[in-house]
Amino acid sequence: MKYGTASPKSNANLIYGRIPVRSSIEAKKANKLLVQKGFQDESLLKLARDNNLPIEFVEQSVLASLSRNGNHQGVIALVQDYQYATLDEIINGCQGKKQPLILILDEIEDPHNLGAIIRSCDAFGVDGIILKNRNQVQINMTVVKVSTGAIDHVKICQVSNVSNAIRVLKSNGFWIYASDGSAKLDYDKVKYDGPTALIVGSEGNGISRLVLENSDFVVKIPMLGHVNSLNVSVATGILLSNIRSSSK
């Protein structure tokens, strides 16, 4: 174990919080731990030692700076670059499954929303997430923290063009369902049969026109209260749960 105050030059490959750090160690993605002096989670330290990870004890201020004052809970892991899957890998992983389910994100901007969506995807057995490689939040330490380890269990791929990805999915037998407030069809009035891809749009602008036009069905969650929309991560969880329950 090493004591010091040295810190990495970049926080691009850092994750923080006990659950995400533990998950990264178990997934063999962590390279080193930075731990606050006086840290008392012996089970986490033992896990790091068992995996031969270097442990450096630092002042709380170092962790606060690296996590941008996030809730680091006394530990940060230096991890490998996030490895995105390919679209082919996600599709191939669906082979032989009774109800393959893929989520497509059209320009989600908030890392907290993306992290929460990844967590829902793990909970409902989503086979992969497709997101654009530009104009959309990518995997960063906030996304990892909010996902509470789920990111180590859900495949994510980047594509340059969502419409092209939709065409590839259709050629592989997937039905495409877009969620949009303008839809006339309620989400719970649809039978989701066979390979399914669900699209959810950005927090401000929703799904782009071209992506909507390339969808097989457009559905909505009816609003009964005084607001006309839900947070995108909440809406995604509702839609994924319904797809899973309707396919049983």
pLDDT tens for the chain, 248 residues long, are 333 334 444 445 899 999 999 999 999 989 999 999 999 999 999 999 999 999 999 999 999 999 888 889 999 999 988 889 999 999 999 998 989 999 999 999 999 999 999 999 999 999 999 999 888 898 988 899 899 889 999 999 999 999 999 999 999 999 999 999 888 999 999 989 899 999 999 888 889 999 999 999 999 999 888 777 789 999 999 999 999 988 66
Residue 59: φ, ψ to 5°: -70, 155
Domain range 87-246, CATH class: alpha beta
Say if residues 214 and 171 touch (Cβ distance below 8 Å).
Answer: no
Residue 164: φ, ψ to 5°: -65, -40
3-class DSSP state for residue 80?
coil
DSSP 206: B
* β-strand pairing of 101-106 with 128-132: parallel
Say if residues 199 and 207 touch (Cβ distance below 8 Å).
Answer: yes
Measured on CA atoms in the order 229, 242, 224, 185, is the torsion positive or negative?
A: positive
- Whole-number pLDDT of residue 1: 30
- Angle subtended at Cα 133 by Cα 151 and Cα 108, rounded to the nearest 5 degrees: 65
DSSP 82: P
- Whole-number pLDDT of residue 248: 62
List helix spans (H) across 149-231: 162-171, 209-213
Cα distance between residue 58 and residue 180, in whole Å: 48
Cα distance between residue 172 and residue 76, in whole Å: 41
Nearest residue to 189 (alpha-carbon basis) of 155, 154, 218: 218
Task: Please name the CATH architecture into which domain 2-79 falls.
Answer: 2-Layer Sandwich (3.30)
* β-strand pairing of 14-16 with 30-36: unpaired
Question: Domain locations in the chain?
Answer: 2-79, 87-246
Nearest residue to 151 (alpha-carbon basis) of 204, 88, 77: 77
DSSP 84: P
- Whole-number pLDDT of residue 82: 86
Q: 231: how many CB neighbours lie within 10 A of its CB?
A: 13
